[in-house]
């Protein structure tokens, strides 16, 4: 029977532009025998440290709580809704989220972090880097915290992935009655990102986590941009 373990990787040092993030995660994981990485693990890394390592930081006026708002406009290709200071927009990456994914928490005062230019590519690089440094074949999910249209509260979702399929398609498999299931395309990378969020917390500064024990059939080529970001032509709410 499948059994998942979800745990945070502690001790990743402060990440700065140009840092070898894969190496830092691999070293921190290896420093504690209970968190050493293994083949088949999914390593979930928060957008914020990926953006920091990739230098996606922009100086903002620390005395102005709205100083990042021009960046929101710059990173957006289409604004869907505005209410007060809140902007819901489609980013140039195709994500629809609040404030173009830009926020200021856990960043040095005076800076804002933009989303990575290509989070799937970020995930591939992290996966390659972890393989090179730790000798293990892991999948990587880059996670970010998004709101939802009709439900309060935020959850973490995947904005990039590598080594794992974004969506596992169970269409055509049989249910326990032998009836063919009609639509069961499960977005497993979002469920993985959410599970990892529960051990990372928002205030503790743990920047990466491991989900261990997923079905090996889910591993393989995958990416968020092509599999998960809904194309405008099939979108009923844009």
> Which residue from 26, 156, 164, 223 is in contact with a copy of itself, where contact means CB under 8 A?
156
- Give the total of residues touching a copy of itself (CB under 8 A): 72
Least separation in angstroms between residue 165's CB and a copy of itself is: 10
Query: What is the DSSP code (8-state) at residue 102?
Result: -
149 binds a copy of itself (CB under 8 A): yes
Burial of 200 (C-beta count, 10 Å sphere; 0-12/13-18/19+): buried
SS3 assignment, position 205: coil
Taking the C-alpha atoms of residue 97 and residue 230, their distance in angstroms, rounded to an integer, is 13
List the structure tokens of 134.
Answer: 């730790």
> Which residue from 8, 101, 116, 222 is in contact with a copy of itself, where contact means CB under 8 A?
8
Least separation in angstroms between residue 128's CB and a copy of itself is: 25
Q: Which residues of 24-34 are buried (b: 16+ CB within 10 A; e: fewer)?
A: bbbbbbeeeee
Taking the C-alpha atoms of residue 58 and residue 104, their distance in angstroms, rounded to an integer, is 10
Q: Which residues contact 123 (CB under 8 A, 6 or more apart)?
A: 45, 140, 141, 142, 160, 161, 162, 163, 223
1 binds a copy of itself (CB under 8 A): yes
61 binds a copy of itself (CB under 8 A): no
For the window 67-106, what string marks contact with a copy of itself as x by the rule CB under 8 A?
--------------x-x----x------xx------xxxx
Looking at beta carbons only, is 27 or 195 nearer to a copy of itself?
A: 195
148 binds a copy of itself (CB under 8 A): yes
> Which residue from 39, 61, 73, 108 is in contact with a copy of itself, where contact means CB under 8 A?
108
Looking at beta carbons only, is 7 or 57 nearer to a copy of itself?
A: 7
63 binds a copy of itself (CB under 8 A): no
6 binds a copy of itself (CB under 8 A): yes
Q: Which residues contact 157 (CB under 8 A, 6 or more apart)?
A: 143, 144, 145, 146, 190, 193, 194
CB atoms within 10 A of CB 220: 10
List the structure tokens of 18.
Answer: 């140009």
Which region, judged by CB under 8 A, interacts with a copy of itself, from 19-27, 52-60, 114-122, 184-192?
A: 184-192
Least separation in angstroms between residue 132's CB and a copy of itself is: 27
Taking the C-alpha atoms of residue 222 and residue 211, their distance in angstroms, rounded to an integer, is 17
216 binds a copy of itself (CB under 8 A): no
> Which residue from 128, 167, 219, 225 is in contact with a copy of itself, where contact means CB under 8 A?
167
């Amino acid at each position: 029977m499948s059994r998942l373990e979800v745990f945070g990787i502690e001790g990743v040092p402060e990440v700065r532009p140009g840092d070898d993030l894969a190496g830092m995660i691999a070293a921190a994981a290896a420093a504690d025998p209970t968190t050493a990485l293994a083949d088949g693990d999914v390593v979930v890394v928060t957008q914020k440290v990926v953006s920091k390592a990739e230098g996606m930081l922009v100086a903002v006026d620390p005395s102005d709580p709205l100083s990042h708002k021009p960046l929101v406009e710059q990173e957006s290709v289409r604004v869907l809704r505005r209410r007060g200071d809140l902007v819901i927009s489609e980013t140039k990456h195709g994500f629809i989220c609040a404030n173009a994914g830009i926020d200021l928490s856990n960043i040095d005062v005076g800076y804002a972090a933009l989303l990575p230019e290509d989070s799937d590519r970020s995930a591939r690089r992290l996966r390659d880097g972890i393989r090179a440094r730790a000798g293990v074949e892991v999948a990587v999910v880059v996670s970010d915290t998004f709101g939802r249209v009709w439900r309060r509260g935020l959850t973490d979702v995947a904005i990039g992935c590598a080594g794992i399929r974004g969506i596992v398609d169970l269409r055509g498999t049989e249910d326990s009655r032998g009836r063919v299931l009609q639509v069961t395309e499960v977005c497993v990378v979002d469920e993985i990102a959410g599970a990892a969020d529960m051990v990372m917390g928002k205030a503790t500064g743990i920047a990466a986590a491991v989900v261990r024990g997923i079905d090996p059939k889910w591993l393989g080529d995958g990416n968020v941009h092509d599999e998960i970001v809904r194309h405008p032509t099939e979108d009923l709410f844009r």
